[in-house]
Structure 1
Amino acid sequence: MTTSPDATAPAAPTAGTARHRADGAHDALPVPAATGSVAEWTERYTHAVMDTFGPPQRVLVRGEGPYVWDADGTRYLDLLGGIAVNSLGHAHPTLTAAISAQLGTLGHVSNFFASPAQVALAERLLALAEAPAGSRVFLTNSGTEANEAALKLTRRHGAGSRPRVLALEGAFHGRSMGALSLTHKLAYREPFEPLPGGVEFLPFGDSDALRTAFAQDGENVAALFLEPIQGEAGVRPLPPGYLALARELTTAHGALLVLDEVQTGMGRTGRWFAHQHPHVGGGVLPDVVTVAKGLGGGFPVGGLIAYGPQVAALLGRGQHGTTFGGNPVASAAALATIGVIERDGLLTHVTELGERLRERLRSTGNALVGEVRGEGLLIAVELTAPVAARVVARALDAGIVVNPCTPTTLRLAPPFVLTDEQVQPFVDLLAALPADLAEETP
């Protein structure tokens, strides 16, 4: 395991939370100290945390910019960004200041009340989404919740007279029961069947199959759910013209076009939303867009954007809700994240760095490196052998975090603040992969 020269173990936190006393003073309450080794924390994890993710690869205690440190003091270059979440990197001073300031003023109120941050965030999302007059936003805590809300909204479309919902093979829209019904992977679905019905999966990117699905009883289609770029399936962009065809068919048959931009939205591809790229969406306006992940820069927040007054009215009073969605702290985090992206010109940086990085990855000269695809800083490296997990293990030992989203695919979704110099060790690692890696004993 490689330890960087400046990879010193972070100091254990000494500040505690505060308890109000009648005399106005505060008593410090202890918080868990970040002491102990990775092995010790992993052992405690196995006895306390439900085994839904398997053992953690490392136990992380600190981050700064595009780097994180584990409990043993080893530094890692984070090229996964919490799976496209940490758009500003770790411990960004503007983001942490905004969260602290809001929490010190007003942390949470129920949705019987509003806060300025909540309203301002909804207004910003409508503007960034280029949504027409009468559009509205429903704020959530996550992408799964945003897609769950979108599915409920589509059930209201046609007052229940449209039982069909279309999605694509390879789709990932979340793991709650409604969102899971839109997710294609059998390993996720089968343990929880029967799922909410009516969802049909079409071959990915197949225009003829899409036309056929609408030609056969298209008036009963409530909605078509699409990711402009499928993330979990291996960073697969829809083919050119597919979104335009989807808009044409949904409009003709009175169905809703729902775009899941949970992973691709909020600047990840170099535009606020992936469908805003001319070569991706061709000027298409959807009916619904879902967002989350990078929206809060690491703080949990998501949302559903309903385009136009008719779609916005599909979820009425009492028909949906959330306790924490749109709370003041989450809204402040999202506003700060958007503000930094604008202030620091990060959309341009994401576009330009992404182009340079993809070209450098294509030029490694290693036979194990096949296709390199993606948009902005959502990138896939397709390997010529099913060794993605082994490459990820080698990278982790070298102090680099990437993700094997398929047996042959490496996914990169790094912070927007990444530099060319910082990412070079990963390029070098790929270039140096041995040709016989597939033959090595795991």
Structure 2
Amino acid sequence: MEVGIFKGLLGRLGVGRLGRNALLSTIGLAIRAVVQAGYLLVLSHWMGASGYGLFAGSVAAATLISPLSGWGIAVVLTQRVARTPSESKGAWAEAILQVLTTGTALVCLLMLGVSLVLPGHIDYPSMGLLALSELVALPLAQVATGLCIALDRGAAGAVCMCLVPVSRLLCVVAGLLLGVEGTPTHVARLHFGGSVIGALVAYGVIVSISGLPSWRRRLPMRATLRDGSRYAVGNLVSTSYLEVDKVLLLQMLGATVAGTYTAAFRVMSVFVLPVSALIGAALPRLFAQHGSPAGSRTLIIVTLSGLGYAVMAALLAVLVSPWMPRVFGASFEESSHYLLLLAPWTVLYALHQAAATGLTAFDRQMSRVCIEALGFVLIIVLNLLLDSRMGAAGAAWSLLATEVFMAGCCWWFLRKANLSPPRPVQG
């Protein structure tokens, strides 16, 4: 009843489906942002800069390959259900099976390679729990969020996107209140427990909306793996570049430096969440409008709105930067400097993500993959060259330079393909 009243009110205000879902996603991400900020605050005080740096760097190692979990099934599901909502049950079954299969394989791969590549990680059992959290549990909740949005259930999608972070925070707070020692090993167990609980509740939300998954109506996995290949590789290079610098800092400069920089970046990530919400809500609409002038108009609206959010986020970062050591503890004093360096990233991120999403929706995914693969290589090279000379500031400058490169290339490819929105007629 309340949802219907909400839709009616927004309709009278001239807000359509895209705006409504973007608003609901923004509300969900705002709640998630508060929760993630609370999670960061609890962990930073409980573990200190060094302990948090070791934990965060180990999580980042799993996050690096997490876009491969599901092998692009989230985008395939969104594309399929946005065009044919009646296929949601079969698509949901496909997603569950594909995430479980590919996620488990990635966990095994990570555990085999971690001793060779990442000598600075936490103990193996804890690393395994973190891998399961980031490669199986969280992707299942993310797929549930995408399915809700594709079904025009923005409120349910907002709930699903918050479930894993909320569950993680509750588990960590419970451990703290029970007197558990704040070591990376103990925190990893609590992190895993919260991830599993959140994923199970997200499954229940989808069942309440769409019913049980239909295993008979799902497509063969070879077909969904084939369709998702370009999105899997694209997701890997489009998101992992944001995590690889934390892993490199942990290995090159130690846990304390990695912890102070990661805290600043996580704060910036919270500030930029409305941009992610807007772009995520727009993707189903852009898929449906592929090949029509409306798609270009939607893209320009999304871009301008995203830039508006990004400018406000950058100003907010400047304002709160002096408060970093007061909020997170004296050991995070350097985080204030890193937050100032990262403030322009929000605008560059919005430009990059809007253009990259346009390439995906307008059937230019391979162009996006090539651009972001080059960006992934670029940020690694820049970190290797700058971090040893400039410390964590080198990671910040590397990120900014990489975003400039990717945003410029994505927009250039859009214009080359005559996909950029037309300029307004004067007069």
* TM-score (norm. length: structure 2): 0.29
Higher strand share: 1
Q: Which of 1 and 2 has higher RCO (CA within 8 Å, sep 6+)?
A: 2
CA radius of gyration, larger in: 1
